[in-house]
Structure 1
């Protein structure tokens, strides 16, 4: 897939109609644990915190409010969970000692001053990044892996939710040391769109879960750091931090001022010992409206001008038995929509996130039922079967919805009861 194809799958503006159905799920032998992870000093919520059931590959992440919901198979109830967050001390807690809706405290990791100033390496920031991108064959998972993931996609007009799609998918993750693309199998999905809030203009994310999967910089470096693009960036060291008591290089990057095409700027968090990429947070330079619009907008009415005002990305990795793999990503895109001849503009925010909630080594190279595979050009809301009650997901782990999404779900459920 060419680099431009990744950008152009992110947004599609078209006119469309709407309908939905309901589906119910079966019960399973699991226990739900709800809680909140907060900073022990400031008591502020910790966003995107990893929560993993020990001796398993089952996991979840906290939402933007620091809340989480973890569905634990009853066979693991006597075990414990590990809670980790960048810049904080890892904590292991026995499940039997946690009360439901409990606030779990994490303490900031102390970073000594002499470690902050990067005195432990003679390599430059750019050289470290280049070595990190070459590490995929040695420190990343090189087995065929079947990953279970939860995906959520929301569209807001100003601050009001206008569209919500969610799905459980199976990712047929190819080894990091080969060039084969990953495949995604749709397991369960639900959606609801209120087109009255979209002024008959329907924003749709073309690519769905693939858009988040392509933020895996190690597997797909061509979408941000090609060999041709790296010389166009300036790399520098920021203050280092810690994760799981390991020193992490923080490398800032931005495009050089003499280059006019839209490139990225942000931070790479790289393990100082292994040079593994642990996290990345970055944004697209959207100062050139025309060029940045061409990267995202695939289809739109003639009388509408659309351009991004913000495009931010996050990707997190997790390590198991010394091997790293993709764990979570978040994309947030904000667009201005101008109708020619109209006085007022509209602002739309499209957010998508995907979290790996379980995985296993898988001998088969591809899904046996090819009809369940979705394409990178798929619009998820057109594949979804409808919206239903919370039991819809059964034993699948999901990302706990933030307050505004939770409110939208409750409204949808009330509408379903009336109809």
Structure 2
């Protein structure tokens, strides 16, 4: 009896040892440089990616000391370390992989870059299938926003007495002084379960956790600043009637309910709602070029680019072509590198960067409507991995963008009432000039195929409360698989 009790305690103790997050750094044995965006896997379809500094952390709660961590990266030999042999903050070195040309590559070795890209497009539909999947997804966003210029001028306000108007203008001036030329950096992180169905945009979502690191006293972008201004206006437009709204000669609204229009502005978002996540991922999964390489213009319109074969390498048992590309025709916008399976012609990794002087999106109606918008930076990295069905699931996505917004509008509010002598009229000019840099990382921690029955029976949650923090605390994500924070995030606080 005593021996049985001892064995049970020993088993419980040994299992508990590995109920933790393991962390370390991956390096090249040859150069001693860190290896970013490498795969760290334990178990089937379960793992993380090293961050841009080669660091990783992975939760091993469900595994024993006998299970092994697998480390792999393009151009390196895979390495395996048992959990029981792993030491915290361990440095793991990978040696370069010497190409061993297999039969598949030998058959295809004479293909030109154009022929390879043609085969990539022919096999897109069979290589990527995001239907009936269940993903555990971690997302990190960094947003750096700066209001370059802000101006607000009241031309007419019949609803404000002279004394009240002075106070109103002072509050607007105060808002301008706090936000103009101020740099606002914020971070958000979330962990979500996402299930995809067979119909377009059919998703089910359960948000598990979310955090926010942000100075809410500052307006992060043009939209937030405009909301703060309109909130102050709405606080003074006390009327049961509706309003006609015009901007210049353009009618914007004939019967605007002020309370309804502005009641949500400047409201602190203390929750992450499932419906918002669904809208975001419906776009990413069904329309995003990042999760369907066939939508990249340098893939579908490859004739507009010049491709150069660099070499081949091995990755997860596949021989991989490495093709550099750059614009060849005027409408081509990107340069970068593709890693393509010599067997299936799937793109398993894509790196891309918007060419200097090009725009990813934008329009300029600055003089006609007082609006200008442009995206002059769009750089990205996307990694896929072959699954048991011989299709490819997303593993990691990183995208960096920079956008510029200019808004200069004159707005007129006129109350809809028969009493013309006491009708409320309000005219003001608003100028907002803003630039925003956004870095988004998405880690697909776990991916599984599911049945329609599993999809139908899955219950969504409405959302969760956001944990608002003033400095990064890694213990918040204990028990989760996430992308390790880099030093900039670890040291950030406000």
Using structure 1 for the length normalisation, give the TM-score: 0.71
Structure 2 match to 1:169: 192
CA-to-aligned-CA distance 1:232-255 (integer Å, 9 cap, x gap): 333332233332454311122333
**Is residue 235 from structure 1 mapped to residue 304 from structure 2 by the alignment?**
no
Cα drift, residue 110 of structure 1: 2.6
Bigger Cα Rg:
2
Residue 99 of structure 1, CA deviation? 0.3
Question: Where does residue 30 of structure 1 map in the other structure?
Answer: 19
Superposed, 1:42-81 pairs within 5 Å as 42-54=31-43, 56-81=44-69
Alignment match of 2:398 (pick from 307, 312, 330): 330
Cα distance in 2, alignment partners of residues 203 and 307 from structure 1:
18
Contact 1:156 1:348 in 2 (8 A): yes
State the distance in 2 between where 1:38 and 1:145 align: 33
Of 135, 142, 147, which aligns to 1:154?
A: 142
Give ranges in structure 2 of 5+ residues lacking alignment.
1-15, 147-181, 226-275, 409-432
CA distance in 2, matches of 1:95, 1:79: 6
What residue in structure 1 maps to residue 168 of structure 2?
none
**Is residue 215–residue 313 contact of structure 1 (8 Å, CA) maintained in 2?**
no
Moved more, 135-144 or 264-273: 135-144
Partner of 1:277: 347
State how far apart, in whole Å, the 1-side matches of 2:204 and 2:70 are: 28
Q: 1:255 aligns with which of 317, 327, 344?
A: 327
Quick check: which one's helix share is greater?
2
CA distance in 1, matches of 2:134, 2:92: 31
Q: Does 1:315 align with 2:382?
A: yes
* Cα offsets for 1:84-109 (capped at 9, x unmatched): 11111111111111101001111122
Q: Is the 8 A contact 2:145 2:437 kept in 1?
A: yes
Give the direction of change, closer, same or farther, for the CA distance of 1:71–1:199 in structure 2 (3 Å limit): closer
Q: Among residues 319, 322, 334, which one is paired with 1:264 in the alignment?
A: 334
SS in structure 1 at match of 2:59: strand
Asked if 1 retains the 8 angstrom alpha-carbon contact of 2:375 and 2:402, the reply is yes
Q: How many residues align?
A: 356
Distance 1:220 1:110, change over 3 A: closer
Check if 1:106 corresponds to 2:94: yes
CA deviation after TM superposition for structure 1 residue 44, in Å: 1.3
The 5-angstrom pairing of residues 372-383 of structure 1 reads 372=461
Contact preservation (8 Å) 1:155, 1:203: no
Relative distance call for 1:45 and 1:160 in structure 2 (3 A) is farther
In the other structure, the counterpart of 2:173 is: none
1:193 equivalent to 2:263? Answer no
Instruction: Tell me, yes or no, if the aligned pair for 1:195 and 1:202 is still in contact at 8 Å.
Output: no
Cα shift at 1:181: 4.7
How far, CA to CA, are the matches of 1:251 and 1:45 in structure 2?
23
Q: Cα 1:364–1:264, aligned 2, differ >3 Å: closer, same or farther?
A: same
Find out whether 1:399 has 2:486 as its counterpart.
no
Conserved in 1, the CA contact under 8 Å of 2:139 and 2:443? yes
Q: Whose relative contact order is higher, 1 or 2, with alpha carbons under 8 Å and at least 6 apart? A: 1
1:303 is displaced (CA, Å) by 6.5
Asked if the contact 1:31–1:74 (Cα under 8 Å) also holds between the matched residues in 2, the reply is no
The superposition leaves residues 267-289 of structure 1 with CA deviations (integer Å, 9 ceiling, x where unpaired) of: 11011123222101112336245
* Aligned-partner SS, 1:68: strand
Change (3 A) 1:200 1:275: closer
Give the drift of 1:142: 7.3
Q: 1:225: how far off?
A: 5.6
Distance 1:118 1:203 in 2: 57
Q: Which residue of 1 aligns with 2:84?
A: 96
User: Alignment RMSD, CA only?
Assistant: 4.0
Give distance in 2, aligned partners of 1:216 and 1:403. 30
Does 2:421 correspond to 1:353? no
Structure 2 length-normalised TM? 0.61
Matched, 1:386 2:456: no
Shift of 1:82: 0.9
In the TM superposition, 1:286-301 aligns within 5 A as 287-289=357-359, 292-294=361-363
Provide the C-alpha distance between the structure 2 equivalents of 1:197 and 1:334, rounded to a whole number of angstroms.
Answer: 20
Shift of 1:190: 2.1
